[in-house]
């Protein structure tokens, strides 16, 4: 499907979007990689993808077109049967003390995906309230959805943090609730118990080829 392949120059050739980029980070963790060549369908995604792969450290990053990618063995954001991926990596994340978060909180992402018009099902709605704990709720993401169905202590950080700040906030959460995607994969990799909404056959495939192939995550996840 697209196992991690490091060529003779210690370079990796990749494609995908945000969730793919993070899964590839788990596949590249602790590997001696000098350069990541990355293709995505929308060049506007590149700055965020570059931030995600910067978790791996000071590795050269270059955006490439599909024609260039097609000439190389590529790594994709799925995990092949028997392929290695680091389940619980340790990342250097931004200090988030400026946000004055409570000692304990839960994180909700209402909608995920980089192209909502193509994946309108990747969202959760009012039924999330029956699953939430009695904790302050931090909302992460970039959507503009109405949150009137949520109650309690709500801290709305949508569009108010960088992607790395969002990941840092999530890494300290007690629980996570959201559609499958980047934040789900990151939460599980930081041992944050996660409730994951699955609404479409593409979600099933994404989960089967990512979450279900990291057995160490089994006790951290619940599907809705």
| 95-148 pLDDT per residue, tens | 999 999 999 999 999 998 766 666 776 888 888 999 999 999 999 999 988 898
- pLDDT above 90: residue 219: yes
* Total-model pTM: 0.95
pLDDT at residue 118, as a whole number: 64
- The residue-averaged pLDDT of 49-78 equals 96
pLDDT at residue 122, as a whole number: 82
pLDDT at residue 153, as a whole number: 94
pLDDT at residue 1, as a whole number: 63
What CATH superfamily is the domain 97-223? Glycogen Phosphorylase B; (3.40.50.2000)
- Mode of pairing for the β-strands spanning 175-179 and 60-63: unpaired
pLDDT at residue 124, as a whole number: 87
- pLDDT above 90: residue 170: yes
- The residue-averaged pLDDT of 150-161 equals 94
pLDDT at residue 2, as a whole number: 83
pLDDT at residue 42, as a whole number: 87
- Pick from 89-98, 107-116, 165-174: least confident: 107-116
């Amino acid at each position: 499907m697209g196992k991690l392949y490091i060529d003779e120059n210690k370079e990796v050739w990749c494609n995908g979007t945000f969730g793919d980029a993070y899964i590839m980070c788990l596949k590249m963790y602790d590997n001696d990689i000098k350069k990541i060549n990355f293709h995505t369908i929308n060049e506007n995604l590149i700055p965020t993808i570059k931030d995600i792969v910067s978790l791996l450290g000071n590795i050269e990053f270059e955006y490439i077109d599909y024609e260039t990618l097609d000439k190389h063995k590529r790594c994709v954001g799925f995990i092949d049967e028997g392929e290695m991926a680091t389940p619980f990596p340790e990342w250097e994340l931004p200090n988030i003390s400026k946000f004055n978060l409570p000692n304990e909180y839960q994180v909700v992402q209402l909608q995920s995906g980089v192209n909502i018009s193509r994946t309108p099902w990747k969202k959760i709605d009012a039924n999330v309230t029956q699953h939430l704990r009695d904790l302050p709720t931090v909302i992460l993401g970039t959507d503009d959805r109405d949150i009137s169905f949520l109650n309690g202590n709500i801290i709305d950080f949508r569009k108010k943090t960088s992607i790395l700040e969002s990941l840092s906030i999530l890494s300290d959460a007690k629980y996570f609730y959201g559609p499958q995607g980047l934040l789900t994969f990151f939460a599980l990799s930081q041992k944050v118990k996660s409730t994951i909404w699955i609404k479409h056959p593409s979600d099933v495939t994404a989960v089967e080829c990512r979450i279900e192939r990291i057995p160490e995550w089994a006790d951290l996840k619940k599907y809705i």
